[in-house]
Structure 1
Amino acid sequence: MIDQLSVCLPNRPGRLAGVCRLLGEWGVQIHAVTIAENVDFSIVRLICDRPRSTAERLVSRGYDAMTTPLVAVEVADVPGALGSLLDRLASCDLNVDYAYACFLAGRTVDVIHVSGEPLAVKLAETGLELLDGADLYEPDEA
C-alpha cells in the first residue's frame, strides 16, 4: 500500500494553483494528480513524495488535507492490463472505489482505492505484487 495525499479545496479560481505553488516551494514532487469536483469544492488526489509530511504542512497552513492508503500495482503498458488487474481484485470480492494511473521511474503504475473486509486478507488472496511506500517515497516517509 502507498499513501495518497488528498486536499479538499473550494471551487474558486487560483486555489489549486496556490496548493501546487506551495508544493513546488517545498520541493514536493507530484507524480500523479486527479481531481473530483463538486458544486462547491474539489477533492485533489495526489501521488507525491513525502505525502504524510506534506499533509501535515498543509493542515498547519489551514488546508483540509489528509493521506489515504491505496493499492499500487505495476502493470504492463499493453491493452487489457487494467482489465486483468481489476478482474483479480473482483475475484477476491474487492470493490474499486476509484483509480488512476501514473508513470514512475519508467513503470506504469495503477493506484486504486479498494474496499472489502478483511482488506489485508483479500489483498493477499489476489496474488498481486503490491508496491509500498519505499518504492515511491523518500526514506523518511517509507
Structure 2
Amino acid sequence: MIIKQLSVFLENKSGRLHEVFDVLGASNINVSACSVADTSEFGILRMIVSEPDKAREILKEKLFSVNVSEVISFATPNAPGSLSKTLQILSNAQISIEYLYGFSIGEKSFIALRCDNAEKAVMEFQRHQMELISASELYKF
C-alpha cells in the first residue's frame, strides 16, 4: 500500500545518525525500515516509522531537515528472481522507479519503493495479485 516515509537530510559527520535515532527512541517512535544514502558532504536517511507525523514534528523541533513522501510497501517471496518479476510488472506499465530498499524475514522479502506514479503501481500490483503491505502491518516487523 501507499505509506508515509520520512527523509532526513544529515551532515555527513560522526554522531548525526545516532542523534536521529536517539530523538525517535526517546519519543517512543519505532523505526520499521530505513536506508541511508550518502555523499561526501551529506546523507539522506529514509525511514518508515510508527508515527510519521509525530516523528516529523519532533525532528523539526530538533532542527533536522525532514520531508514526508509516499512509498509503496509490498512483499515478494524470498527467492531468486522474485524481485525481478515484480519490477517487470512496473516496467511493462511504464512506471519509473526512483529508489527502493527492503529486508527479508523467513520466506518473504518486504520492499519499500518510490516511483513516479504510486497509484498506478498499486493498481498494477493488485491486478497481478501482489501482496501489498499497509503501514500498520509493516510496523509489526
TM-score, L = length of structure 1: 0.84
Alignment partners' CA distance in 2, 1:103 and 1:11: 28
Aligned partner (choices 128, 131, 134) of residue 132 of structure 1: 134
Task: Give the corresponding residue for 1:123.
Answer: 122
**Mapping for residues 79-94 of structure 1, pairs under 5 Å:** 79-94=80-95
Q: Is contact 1:75-1:108 (8 Å) kept? A: yes
Task: Give the corresponding residue for 1:3.
Answer: 4
> Does 2:111 correspond to 1:110?
yes
Q: Please give the per-residue CA displacement for 1:27-68, whole angstroms capped at 9, x wherever unaligned.
A: 121222211112221000112211221011111221101211
Consecutive unaligned residues of structure 1, counting only runs of 5 or more, are none
- What is the root-mean-square deviation of aligned Cα atoms in Å? 2.2
Letter aligned with residue 67 of structure 2: M
Task: Give the corresponding residue for 2:19.
Answer: 18
Q: Is contact 1:100-1:111 (8 Å) kept? A: yes
Alignment partners' CA distance in 1, 2:131 and 2:53: 23
Report percent identity of matched pairs: 25
Letter aligned with residue 135 of structure 1: E
Alignment partners' CA distance in 2, 1:90 and 1:66: 27
Alignment partners' CA distance in 1, 2:51 and 2:108: 19
3-state SS of paired residue (1:84): helix
TM-score, L = length of structure 2: 0.84
Consecutive unaligned residues of structure 2, counting only runs of 5 or more, are none
Q: Please give the per-residue CA displacement for 1:72-103, whole angstroms capped at 9, x wherever unaligned.
A: 11111111111111001111111111001035
CA-CA distance at 1:136 after TM superposition: 3.1
Write out the 4+ residue segments of structure 1 that deviate beyond 4 Å after TM superposition. Answer: none
3-state SS of paired residue (2:44): strand
Alignment partners' CA distance in 2, 1:71 and 1:40: 29
Letter aligned with residue 68 of structure 1: S
Task: Give the corresponding residue for 2:43.
Answer: 42
3-state SS of paired residue (2:112): strand
- Decide whether aligned partners of structure 1 residues 107 and 125 sit closer, same or farther in structure 2, where only a CA change above 3 A counts: closer
CA-CA distance at 1:131 after TM superposition: 2.3
